[in-house]
């Protein structure tokens, strides 16, 4: 089969030097579950190469191997040659999408996810389900036990939703407490606004408390990660251009996000638009400004909270934070700033939790197997809380905790800092 000539595909030098040493097998969560080469980074690189070089057909099954990757980036990190198997897997999804476009992705990633208003409307039934007491009823009457396990896990994943999406509540400009030392743009992610509004509200409070004037553009669209994960690089680029233009109007020095996934994608805009003369420079400037909230806070003189939180806390590294952004010390340092916290390291803290965006829906068995290991490790810490600054990880961890009936609370690190400040206020 010959491929269309204008196909956007991984370049030869991305896979040519793979010597098949097998080092990546040691760190791959899907390989660890299936112990099968097909589910390994080395296998995926081989399949990509054979597919692109015409030795294999680019079948749906070949594409499925690319979708089976959790994109946790562990293989990218360990490869001594510099091959990036996880990136190749994602690029191959884009190849598949060009060969066999699937129309529903236009609707989901182009029309729905890209428009915050529509997302808010579409998720309304969930807010009704919770807000009306229906969810409580489901639990009280133990109706949830009647749900098939898979649906039960998905239901359990759902956090307590805010009454209203944060986007509707947060002011466009939040004034700094005291002198304004930084003008900070806040990129409010879709999941944060719709599902974890309390966390992002905490983020804005903490920033303001530490001398930041926080500007939150309300018209931001999705960072692009879901579209990228489903092979729609065209939509990612459109999202990127829109968000860049939007933030250019805010005249901010830094752009902060409290979502690991958004952060990693926003930091890639420069690279994503590098080939577009009109955008390359603007995208590079934008990406250079992006900081994870913990990364930003630990780089400025941060007020040490006088309030205490007496609890044992552990921390799960979101792949999109630790690997994609190399931010792993800062969230730990941020929590250790709080008196009373007994911080304990989670074994294999940097192994994927199995969320990977939507893997619990699309690859249920794999996602759960990966999650089970995470839960074993969590249990071994004896922690009462597990912190993680990623909505996907938080939902996945919540699912695991419910399945195992562990008494562990899932939090965003920023919430702990916010609470420590609050308890200091209360005691004063």
Partner 1 sequence: MKPNLIQELVKIVGKNAVLTSPEDLAVYSYDGTFEEHCPDVVVLPTSTEQVSQVIQLAAREHIPVVTRGMASGLAAASVPFSGGIVLCLTRMDRVLELDEENAIVHVEAGIITANLQAEVEKKGLFYPPDPSSIRHSTIGGNIACNAGGPRCLKYGVTGDYVLGLTVVLADGRVIHTGGKVIKDVVGYDLTALLTGSEGTLGVITEALLRLTARPKFARTALVEFNSIEDASETVNAILTAGIVPATLELMDQTAISCIEEAMHLGLPLDVEAILLVETDGQEETSVAREIEAAAEICTRHGARKVTVAKDESERQGLWKARRSVAPALARLAPNKLGEDITVPRSAIPEAVRRLKQVSAKYGLPIVIFGHAGDGNLHPNILFDKRDPQQWAKVEQMVAEEFAIALDLGGTLSGEHGVGTLKRPYLERALGPVSVDIQKRIKQALDPNNILNPGKVLPD
Contact string 67-106 vs partner 1 (x = CB under 8 A): ------------xxxx------------------------
CB 308 within 8 A of CB 423: yes
Is residue 63 packed enough to be buried (19+ CB in 10 Å), middle (13-18) or exposed (0-12)?
Answer: buried
Q: Which stretch binds partner 1 (CB under 8 A): 15-23, 340-348, 355-363, 414-422?
A: 15-23
How many whole angstroms separate alpha carbon 268 and alpha carbon 324?
9
How many whole angstroms separate alpha carbon 80 and alpha carbon 428?
54
Which two structure tokens, joined as six digits, stand for 274?
Answer: 């590098």
Bridge pairing between strands 385-387 and 339-343? unpaired
Residues 106-145 close enough to bind partner 1 by CB under 8 A: none
State the number of binding residues for partner 1 (CB under 8 A).
32
Q: Which stretch binds partner 1 (CB under 8 A): 41-49, 144-152, 305-313, 339-347?
A: 41-49
Nearer to partner 1, 55 or 345 (CB): 55
> What's the min distance (Å) between Cβ of 321 and partner 1?
22
Q: Which of 7, 8, 35, 128 binds partner 1 (CB under 8 A)?
A: 35
DSSP per-residue string spanning 367-408: HHHHHHHHHHHHHHHT-SEEE-S-HHHHHHHHHHHHHHT---
Nearer to partner 1, 57 or 342 (CB): 57
How many whole angstroms separate alpha carbon 247 and alpha carbon 286?
8
21 binds partner 1 (CB under 8 A): yes
Q: Which stretch binds partner 1 (CB under 8 A): 13-21, 119-127, 340-348, 351-359?
A: 13-21
Q: Which stretch binds partner 1 (CB under 8 A): 38-46, 142-150, 273-281, 416-424?
A: 38-46
178 binds partner 1 (CB under 8 A): no
**How many alpha carbons lie under 13 Å from residue 213 in its C-beta half-sphere?**
12
- Residues at the contact surface with partner 1, assessed by CB under 8 A: 16-26, 35-38, 40, 42-43, 46-47, 50, 55-57, 59, 61-62, 65, 79-82
């Amino acid at each position: 089969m010959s491929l269309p000539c204008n196909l956007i595909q991984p370049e030869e030098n991305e896979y040519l030097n793979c010597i098949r040493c097998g080092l990546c097998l040691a760190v791959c969560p899907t390989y660890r579950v299936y112990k099968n080469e097909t589910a390994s980074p080395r296998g995926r690189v081989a399949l990509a190469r054979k597919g692109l070089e015409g030795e294999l057909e680019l079948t749906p099954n070949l594409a499925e191997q690319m979708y089976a990757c959790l994109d946790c980036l562990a293989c990218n990190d360990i490869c001594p040659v510099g091959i990036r198997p996880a990136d190749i897997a994602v690029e191959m999804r884009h190849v598949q999408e060009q060969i066999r476009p699937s129309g529903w992705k236009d609707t989901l990633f182009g029309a729905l996810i890209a428009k915050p208003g529509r997302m808010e409307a579409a998720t309304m039934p969930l807010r009704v389900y919770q807000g009306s007491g229906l969810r409580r009823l489901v639990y009280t009457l133990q109706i949830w036990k009647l749900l098939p396990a898979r649906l039960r896990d998905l239901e359990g994943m759902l956090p307590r939703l805010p009454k209203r999406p944060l986007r509707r509540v947060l002011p466009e400009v939040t004034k700094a407490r005291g002198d304004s030392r930084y003008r900070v743009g806040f990129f409010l992610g879709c999941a944060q606004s719709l599902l974890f509004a309390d966390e992002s509200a905490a983020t804005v409070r903490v920033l303001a408390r530490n001398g930041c004037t926080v500007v939150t553009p309300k018209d931001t669209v999705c960072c692009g990660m879901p579209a990228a994960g489903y092979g729609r690089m065209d939509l990612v680029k459109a999202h990127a251009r829109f968000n860049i233009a939007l933030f250019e109007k805010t005249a901010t020095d830094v752009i902060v996000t409290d979502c690991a996934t958004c952060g990693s994608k926003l930091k890639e805009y420069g690279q994503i638009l590098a080939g577009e003369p009109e955008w390359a420079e603007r995208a590079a400037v934008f990406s250079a400004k992006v900081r994870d909230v913990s990364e930003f806070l630990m780089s400025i003189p941060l007020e040490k909270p006088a309030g205490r939180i007496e609890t044992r806390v552990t921390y799960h590294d979101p792949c999109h934070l630790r690997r994609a952004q190399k931010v792993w010390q800062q969230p730990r340092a941020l929590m250790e700033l709080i008196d009373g916290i007994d911080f304990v390291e989670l074994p294999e803290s940097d192994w994927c939790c199995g969320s990977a965006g939507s893997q619990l829906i699309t690859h249920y068995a794999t996602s759960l197997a990966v999650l089970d290991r995470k839960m074993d490790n969590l249990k071994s810490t004896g922690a009462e809380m597990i912190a993680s600054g990623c909505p996907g990880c938080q939902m996945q961890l919540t699912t695991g905790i419910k399945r195992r009936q562990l008494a562990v609370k899932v939090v965003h690190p920023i919430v702990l800092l916010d609470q420590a400040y609050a308890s200091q206020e209360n005691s004063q």
